[in-house]
Structure 1
Amino acid sequence: MARKDHYYNKAKQEGYRARSAYKLKQLDSETGLFGPGNTVVDLGAAPGGWLQVASEKVGDHGKVVGVDLQRIRDIDHHNVETVRGDMTEDDTKEKLKDIVGEQGADAVVSDMAPNMTGEYSLDHARSIYLARQAFEVAQELLATGGDFAVKVFDGQDLADFRADMEPEFQYVRSIRPDASRDSSSEQYLVGKHFLTAPVRKGDEVEVEIVDVGSEGDGIAKVEDFTVFVPGTETGETPLVRITDVKPRFAFAERVDD
């Protein structure tokens, strides 16, 4: 039996609106996109297969919001809400922000693909364009530590897009789900643990050590963001280089010795 037949039939049997539901299931299984009580935004959500999966994963106390230019038939889950509109327009983004709330989204996902022309370089370029649009929206909606998953087609512009994603997350993975068709060049980039810190790895900044932590590292603040600097004492103002950034704190080394 052909792979596409297997997943198509499986979706029909299990009540999913699209075979792509199994792609999201694998992405979640491998990267832990969703947890109970999470808030999830699905960009380009029609016909709703990914909404169904996310709804199951976040449970009764979670929230799933889907947006698409096309109408999405109602989904029989009380934790799903849909918005019809262009995700890049201000009105639509404001609606999303209102629904998501001030705490932000725990995950933003996108399975959007361009209308295929059969000209590979053009289809690839359009897929990266859509992925970049989704990335921009995700940056506005994600909470600190949130995750982002987006479909892309392999090609010459993919490396640059991934390079733009990587500084904004703790790490980025590339996954090709089993449910992807053999003939497809699609893959998914998954950015884990969105960084909202005012510093990035490699930055050099002068800081003031305001305290010393229990492990003996100096503690500095950059716009209320904590930076740990080994080998420093309270009251020092060293020049430091950021060596690692986590969602809620960073590590640095002094460079003015």
Structure 2
Amino acid sequence: MVSAMAGKDEYYNRAKQQGYRARSAYKLKQLDREFDLIGHGDTVVDLGAAPGGWLQVAAEEAGRHGRVIGVDFQRIDAVERGDAPVETIRGDMTEDETKAAIAEAADGRVDTVISDMAPNMTGEYNLDHARSVHLARQALETATDLLGEGGNFAVKVFQGQDLDGFEDDVAREFAFSRRTSPDASRESSSEVYVVGKNRLTGPVRVGDVRDVEITGVGEEGDGIAKVEGFTLFVAGVEEGDEVRVEVTDVKPRFGFAEPIEE
């Protein structure tokens, strides 16, 4: 006969023993350990934060010089764990009023946006997947509105036909992106997490085609072009050239491009 304790999974039991509100706290711990999402002193926004397990972890990782903001329709009990102050906002993350409240609470600076939201499950796999992607896209839209240059993002989404397209959208907005499944996720679960690091705020993205003028040459010999003040390094050109280029890589403060032969 299986005991009641053995009938619960490891992370559920660990959460109860260590005072976390949900087993999902260990998913964020593992994501943060792998991707360094939350730094000491960071301002973190948790979308769909109830019951508060991720808020507890974020408050520990951000430390006393950081701050943590949780957003949810549901009321969240006060979080008394970790050194970072935690504020909660009741509202819809997609509404301008809620975004304004977040920006005010964050004092204009957000370093990391995280979301462990899941849709109300219907048991119909394709529908549940589509709803999870919709929630993830809403979280991504909110994150791109809030995050400054170099900010980080992590969101839960269910596997399915629309996941690749969503990953492409994340990859377009961040210098680094990855799909991952923390050990704390149940083996039977279809959930994965999509992580984006180093938010891009410049005017170009990988694959963009631009007509540029080469105004200088960098230390490595690449031509230098400016797009709305953003620096592009262009291979195989000389100062004074006017060329059409395709953007091949983008970092938060500069990018790389190659001439298109016409």
Amino acid at match of 2:87: E
Task: Decide which moves more: 42-51 or 179-188.
Answer: 179-188
List structure 1 segments (4+ residues) > 4 angstroms apart after TM superposition.
Answer: 1-4
Q: Distance in 1 between matches of 2:200 and 2:168?
A: 15
Amino acid at match of 2:139: A
Number of positions where the alignment pairs a residue of Structure 1 with one of Structure 2 = 256
Q: Deviations over 1:33-72 (max 9, x none)?
A: 1111111110000111101111111111112111000011
Q: For residues 159-238 of structure 1, what are the structure 2 equivalents within 5 Å? A: 159-238=164-243
Structure 2 stretches of 5 or more lacking a match?
none
Quick check: 2:68–2:84 contact (8 Å CA) kept in 1? no
Q: Deviations over 1:156-188 (max 9, x none)?
A: 222222222221122321111111122211111
User: Residue 71 of structure 1: which of 45, 58, 75 is its match?
Assistant: 75
Q: 1:43 aligned to 2:81?
A: no
Q: Distance in 2 between matches of 1:78 and 1:161?
A: 32
* Residues 33 and 126 of structure 1, relative CA distance in 2, 3 Å threshold: same
Secondary structure of the 1:113 match is: coil
What is the TM-score of this pair, normalised by structure 2?
A: 0.91
Task: Decide which moves more: 234-243 or 171-180.
Answer: 234-243
Q: Deviations over 1:116-166 (max 9, x none)?
A: 122222211211111111111111011112111111111122222222222
Tell me what 2:123 maps to.
118
Tell me what 2:29 maps to.
25
Task: Decide which moves more: 15-24 or 91-100.
Answer: 91-100
Amino acid at match of 1:59: G
Amino acid at match of 1:92: T
Quick check: 1:4–1:181 contact (8 Å CA) kept in 2? no
Compute the displacement of 1:100 (Å).
2.2
Q: Distance in 2 between matches of 1:121 and 1:4?
A: 28
Secondary structure of the 1:207 match is: strand
Q: Distance in 1 between matches of 2:78 and 2:165?
A: 38
Compute the displacement of 1:231 (Å).
3.7
Tell me what 2:107 maps to.
101
* Percent identical residues: 64
* Residues 243 and 2 of structure 1, relative CA distance in 2, 3 Å threshold: farther
Compute the displacement of 1:12 (Å).
1.7
Q: Distance in 1 between matches of 2:140 and 2:94?
A: 11
Quick check: 1:4–1:179 contact (8 Å CA) kept in 2? no
Quick check: 1:238–1:256 contact (8 Å CA) kept in 2? no
Q: 1:7 aligned to 2:11?
A: yes
Quick check: 1:3–1:179 contact (8 Å CA) kept in 2? no
Q: Deviations over 1:95-119 (max 9, x none)?
A: 11222233x4221100001111222
Q: Distance in 2 between matches of 1:225 and 1:204?
A: 15
Q: 1:90 aligned to 2:96?
A: yes
Tell me what 1:127 maps to.
132
Tell me what 1:140 maps to.
145
Q: Distance in 1 between matches of 2:148 and 2:114?
A: 14
Task: Decide which moves more: 170-179 or 20-29.
Answer: 170-179
Structure 1 stretches of 5 or more lacking a match?
none
Q: Distance in 2 between matches of 1:100 and 1:210?
A: 39
What is the TM-score of this pair, normalised by structure 1?
A: 0.92
Secondary structure of the 1:124 match is: helix
Q: Distance in 2 between matches of 1:56 and 1:187?
A: 23
Compute the displacement of 1:256 (Å).
5.3
Q: Distance in 2 between matches of 1:155 and 1:243?
A: 28
Compute the displacement of 1:210 (Å).
2.8
Secondary structure of the 1:160 match is: helix
Q: Distance in 2 between matches of 1:159 and 1:205?
A: 26
Q: 1:255 aligned to 2:260?
A: yes
Q: Distance in 1 between matches of 2:247 and 2:37?
A: 27
Q: Deviations over 1:10-40 (max 9, x none)?
A: 1122121111000001111111111111111
Amino acid at match of 1:90: D
